[in-house]
């Protein structure tokens, strides 16, 4: 079992994905990603890139561009066109978040509540499903069957992003997502890695909806629970990943936000995480200081053999850096040696990586 096989396959996958724009692919929509001549890389960053000749990732391969809920900066997250656009923009890995429905089906949603990401509030037939849970009065994924959830339409969760694609695309199951990926792969004759995140596994299990056997059964049914499948499983729940470890040869990624409740790796150290996981998905603020210097976290993780995927880059949110914009933030992360970046805007990350790769 090794997470590194995915990194080692990335160059071939990048070539395949770059050519994956088949004429028979349905258009993802009428949102045109910004076009424009990229700024030249200059200063110390360009010198560093020229000196190392590659990126200082764990394997020395290109850092992966991970489409965070698809190209969610342009379309409502977790929708067919969001994932299609991400693929067209050159993302290396597609990331869906997974919840569990009342009837035990994996649903592609980030939040357990539905009011912000779907049209459920406008659906009179579901008015009586609203209830108090987790300190919030809302509609909840685990109170609906998969069929009911698929009847809902997705909406953009960020109010300052375009709302023009709201209510046009339905909620997906994990099966729908994998069918979509199969179709993409058939058209481009390439392999597309996926990195599903299991959301709130402890809370689901307490409701009798343990996602572990459901996930393994879905992967087994599709022949994906094998060591050569391009699937990475991630979670914020360390005990859940420990339970998964004997059930799958697939790489596991421990997500880490910081000291906040639910985001601190259940108090596990990086050394303990390295005992059952292959990667760590660290919040970017754990890796970089505001001045752009390293905190030392990435170096510690790499020394333990842990791949580092970091989150979340967004063009339309403030930069982590005190002096620098969001493009500079990406440059700093790539120069640091992250092995992958989750982003809502895959085209931007592809552009910055290309600039750095070609820097003289």
Catalytic residue set: 68, 110
CA-nearest of 65, 66, 155 to 109 is 155
φ/ψ (deg, to 5) at 206: -65, -25
Element (H, E) at 254: strand 252-256
CA-nearest of 352, 355, 347, 357 to 90 is 347
Residue 329 exposed, middle or buried by CB count within 10 Å (0-12, 13-18, 19+): buried
Q: How far apart are CA 28 and CA 85, in angstroms?
A: 6
Distances 279 to 205, 234, 273, 275 between C-alpha atoms, Å:
24, 9, 9, 11
Query: Could you tell me which residues are beta bridge partners of residue 137?
Result: 132
Angle between helices 346-357 and 326-336 (to 10 degrees): 60
CA-nearest of 234, 281, 284, 224 to 110 is 234
Distances 7 to 227, 253, 271, 309 between C-alpha atoms, Å:
14, 14, 22, 11
Q: How far apart are CA 142 and CA 210, in angstroms?
A: 11
DSSP annotation string for 121-174 = GG-GGGGGG-EEETTEEE-BGGGS-HHHHHTSBB--S-TTS--TTTTSSB--BH
Can you list the pairs that 242-247 forms with residues at least 24 positions away whose Cβ atoms lie under 8 Å? Answer: 242/276, 243/212, 244/212, 244/215, 244/216, 245/276, 247/212, 247/216
């Amino acid at each position: 079992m090794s997470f590194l096989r995915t990194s080692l396959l990335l160059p071939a996958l990048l070539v395949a994905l770059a050519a994956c724009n088949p004429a028979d692919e349905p258009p993802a929509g009428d949102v045109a990603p910004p076009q424009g001549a990229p700024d030249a890389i200059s200063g110390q960053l360009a010198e560093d890139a020229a000196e190392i000749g590659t990126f200082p990732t764990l394997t020395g391969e290109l850092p992966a561009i991970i489409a965070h809920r698809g190209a969610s900066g342009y379309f409502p997250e977790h929708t067919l066109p969001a994932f299609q656009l991400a693929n067209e923009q050159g993302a290396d890995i597609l990331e869906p978040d997974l919840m569990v429905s009342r009837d035990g089906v994996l649903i592609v949603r980030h939040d357990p509540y539905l009011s912000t990401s779907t049209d459920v509030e406008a659906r009179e037939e579901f008015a009586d499903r609203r209830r108090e849970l987790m300190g919030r009065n809302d509609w909840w994924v685990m109170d609906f069957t998969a069929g009911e959830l698929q009847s809902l339409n997705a909406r953009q969760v960020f109010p300052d992003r375009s709302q023009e694609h709201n209510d046009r695309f339905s909620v997906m199951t994990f099966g729908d997502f994998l069918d979509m990926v199969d179709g993409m792969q058939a058209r481009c004759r390439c392999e597309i890695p996926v990195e599903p995140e299991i959301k709130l596994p402890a809370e689901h299990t307490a409701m009798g909806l343990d996602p572990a056997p459901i996930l393994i059964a879905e992967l087994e049914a599709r022949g994906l629970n094998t060591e050569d499948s391009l699937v990475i499983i991630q979670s914020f729940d360390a005990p859940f990943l420990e339970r998964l470890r004997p059930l799958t040869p697939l790489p596991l990624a421990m997500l880490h936000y910081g000291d906040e409740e639910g985001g601190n790796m259940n108090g596990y150290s990086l050394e303990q995480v390295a005992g059952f996981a292959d990667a760590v998905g660290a919040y970017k603020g754990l890796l970089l200081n505001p001045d752009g210097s390293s905190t030392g976290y990435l170096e510690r993780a790499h020394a333990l053999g842990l791949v580092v995927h970091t989150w979340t880059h967004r063009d339309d949110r403030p930069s982590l850096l005190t002096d620098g914009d969001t493009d500079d933030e990406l440059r700093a992360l790539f120069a640091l040696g992250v092995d992958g970046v989750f982003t809502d805007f895959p085209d931007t990350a592809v552009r910055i990586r290309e600039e750095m790769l070609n820097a003289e």
